[in-house]
Structure formats: structure tokens, C-alpha cells
Amino acid sequence: MIKKSRMLHLLATLLFCLLPVSVAAQEAVASAPQPTEPMLALPPSDMVMTIDVRRIMDEAVPRILVNAPLARARFNAELEKVRAKSGFDLRSIDRIVVGMGDFNVNLGNTTAAAAPEGATPNKAQNNMPGKFVAIVTGSFNAPVLVAAARLVSGGKYKEERYAQSTLYTFVIDKAAAPEAFSAVPAPEISLTSLDAHTIVIGFPGSVRAAIDLHSGQGLSAANADLISMANNTRGALVGVGAAGGAVTKRQASAAPPAKKLELTPLDNLGSTDAANASGTGSGTENEITKALAAVRQVFFSVGMADTHFNVRVVARTEQSSQAQELVSMLEALRGFAESAKDPKVRKMLDVVKVFSENNELLVNAEFAQADVASLVTDKDLKMTAARPAAASRSAKRTAVRRRRRG
């Protein structure tokens, strides 16, 4: 289970990690015309994502934490802490759309040309995308937010005029960045406002491409298929569309890897220890790797209705036999998972339906809100009410006296 309250801190700072802001008051602004669909400003990507932050904050989180009042109070406290320190309210975000591409960039094995813009080769950073951009919309004042980022950087940024925008590029390192940004896997992050209520943040090259698309330059339909997949489920909290093989595309096009590429820990299934140790495997690849390689498109969504949450995954393969093979593998994995001792987990697995239609693998599940909430309690999160300091000191003194008597 999730330990203590770290999950709550991560939830509260997840979106904050995308916004390098600090002490600048957020000003109320008059409502502006609605911008065009932000996903059309995403440059060519291997994966696109849309996140309905407003509904997650206002509806999903309270439902999930309905049986964890202490956890919910801590979550709200973390949001207030961010607002107090930065002047920015995470609840003012409506939506985030993300575009990523050129995955599996192993800077220890790639040349400067293969690394993301601004990154240093031969540095131990694995599985980071070569392209990344996030477009954030909401009721916040975008220009004020950008100004706040400049303040918190202490002047450690580069300013450039690009098209009709002013682009600010920040050097992200542990010495200069707030603690919340220490995990950002890129040495440079660029930020600008697209309009009064929209900011764009990401790798410098990706941000410039987004500016071009937003101003009408470039091919706005570059991600048409992926966007259609990500928006496949109306009203979803999260929607993702990805091209098959996106995670291994960069590795395949770069220099030969020093060792066998392992997609997941399951990559070892179906091969002997000796074969895996040598990096050859049975016929070079095992059955799981072959099945995953046949996937051409993947999309999934997480939605929420009045009484339940729903999850939908679709993977399109080249042939119907490959989709059927993936169904068999997932059913086998479900058999292992159903041996779990926790009856709550087994109940959740019972509603997961895995099947194929022609060349598509489909996974559908509807989880009752009560069942989801039952998995997240203060006890499971190891959360207890804070005791007054005086009571805590008294308890310690009592424990010491008892040990002495013993």
C-alpha cells in the first residue's frame, strides 16, 4: 500500500512541477475569448495526453478520499501551502495537454545529436523523451505567472523574442531550482504565455514549435490521429493517444545499444536465465516482446460517472491473431494477480473485461466509487491524527519510566 502521506505531497505538487512559479500574487482578470483547441498547438508527437485538472481536483479526489478524511485534509493543506508560497492556486488550472516524443533517450549511450535540446550526453538519464511540451489553460493570469517564474529564478534565465512571444528559458539544477523541480529530467525548460489564460512549458525546441502552431504556422493536423484517440471518450478525466513502438523508437534509430533492451520486467518471462543473461533470448525476442512490437496504436482513458470510475484501453495490432495473443497474455497475468490475498483487489479485478475485436485488444472496466474509495483509507495510507506536542512529550516520558522500571 502507499506509505504514509508522500502520495498526498506528490498529488499536490504534480502540477506545480510543471509551473516554475514563486512569490507573485495572482491577479483577477476579465474573462477572455476561449482559445482554440490547445491540442492543435502540440508539435508532432509520439504520444499526446489531455488532463481535466478541474474535474480531478473538484470531483475525483474528494470521491477517492471520501473514506480518508485525514488524507483529504492533508491534500488540501498541501494545495494551500503551494498557494501561500507561490501566490498560485493549483485549483485555477482547468486543463493540461501534453505532447511527447522520441522516448527512451539513454544519454549514456547517445550522441549529442540524439539527445534532447540542451541536454548533456553521457549523463545517466534514461527513458526521458527527446520532445516534451505542456500547454496549461485555466482562470489564472498567464503573464503574471510567467513574471513570477522570472522572479523565482533569481535572474537565471535566457530571454529571447520568438515570433510574437517572449520566450524565457530556465536552467534547471538542484542549486537554483526549488525542491519541487529537482526531478525535472532536463537542464533547460522554456516558458511563455500564449494568451491571457494559457501558458506553454517544455523543452525549448518543443515550445518554439507550439508557438508556431498556435500562431497558424506549421501543420496543425500533425497529431490528428493521436488527438482523435485521446479524445475518444467524451468527458474523460484523462485521455491518451500513442503511436505503437513510441517507447523504443529512439533506441531503434540510435546506435546499437550496449545490452538487450528490456521493455518491462515482464520482458524476462518466457526466456531462460542464461538467454536473458546473454541478451539473446529465445529467437532474439520472447513472446511478450513480439506481441508488444505488433501494436501500432494505443489509446486509453479514465472517466468518471455519477457512481463509478471507468477505464478503457484499446491497442490496435497489425493482425487479429496478434490481438488475440495479447488477450491470452493479459488473462494469464490476471490469473496471477487474482491470487492476491486482499479481497478488495480481487473484487476490482473481477470487473475488468479483456477481449479482442478484429485487430484490436480491448480492456474495459467500471469500478464502483465505493470500491475505489475502500482502497484508500487513512489506515491504508498510514495516516494518523497529529498529537499535540505536549501530549507527545508526556507519552515519551511515560515510556522512558516504564523502561527503567523494567
Q: Concatenate the DSSP letters of all residues of 6-22 into one string.
A: HHHHHHHHHTGGG----
pLDDT level of residue 281 (50, 70, 90 thresholds): very low
pLDDT > 70: percent of the chain: 63
What pLDDT, on the 0 to 100 scale, is given for residue 203?
Answer: 93
Q: What angle do CA 277, 281, 286 make, to 5 degrees?
A: 130
What pLDDT, on the 0 to 100 scale, is given for residue 388?
Answer: 54
What pLDDT, on the 0 to 100 scale, is given for residue 16?
Answer: 42
pLDDT level of residue 381 (50, 70, 90 thresholds): confident
State the Cα–Cα distance between residues 25 and 153, nearest whole angstrom. Answer: 16
Burial of 60-69, coded b for 16+ CB within 10 Å and e otherwise, reads bbebbbbbbe
pLDDT, tens only, 342-378: 787 788 888 899 999 999 999 999 999 999 998 888 8
Residue 30 pLDDT exceeds 60: no
- Residue pair 37/201 in contact by the 8 Å Cβ criterion: no
The strand order across the sheet containing 198-202 reads 157-162, 165-171, 188-195, 198-202, 131-138, 93-101, 47-51, 238-243, 295-304, 308-317, 360-368, 353-357
**In the predicted model, what is the mean pLDDT of the chain?**
74
Burial class, 214, CB count within 10 angstroms (exposed 0-12 / middle 13-18 / buried 19+) = buried
Phi-psi region of 316 (alpha: psi -120 to 50; beta: other; left: phi over 0): beta
Residue type, 160: E
Residue 236 pLDDT exceeds 70: yes
Residue 306 pLDDT exceeds 80: yes
What pLDDT, on the 0 to 100 scale, is given for residue 2?
Answer: 44
Ramachandran angles phi, psi of 333, nearest 5°: -65, -35
Residue 255 pLDDT exceeds 50: no
- H or E segment and range at residue 393: helix 389-405
pLDDT, tens only, 70-104: 999 999 999 999 888 777 888 999 999 999 988 75
What pLDDT, on the 0 to 100 scale, is given for residue 111?
Answer: 44
Kindly report the length of the chain.
Answer: 406
Query: What is the average per-residue pLDDT within 206-232?
Result: 85
How distant, in Å, are the alpha carbons of 42, 134, 213 from that of 38? 7, 10, 10
pLDDT, tens only, 141-166: 999 888 888 887 777 889 999 988 99
Q: What SS3 state is found at 84?
A: helix
Residue 198 pLDDT exceeds 80: yes
Calculate the CA dihedral of residues 230, 235, 238, 242 and round it to 10 degrees.
Answer: -10
Query: What is the average per-residue pLDDT within 107-115?
Result: 44
Q: What is the 3-state secondary structure (H, E, C) of 364-391?
A: EEEEEHHHHHHCCCCCCCCCCCCCCHHH
CA-based Rg of the chain, rounded to a whole angstrom?
A: 24
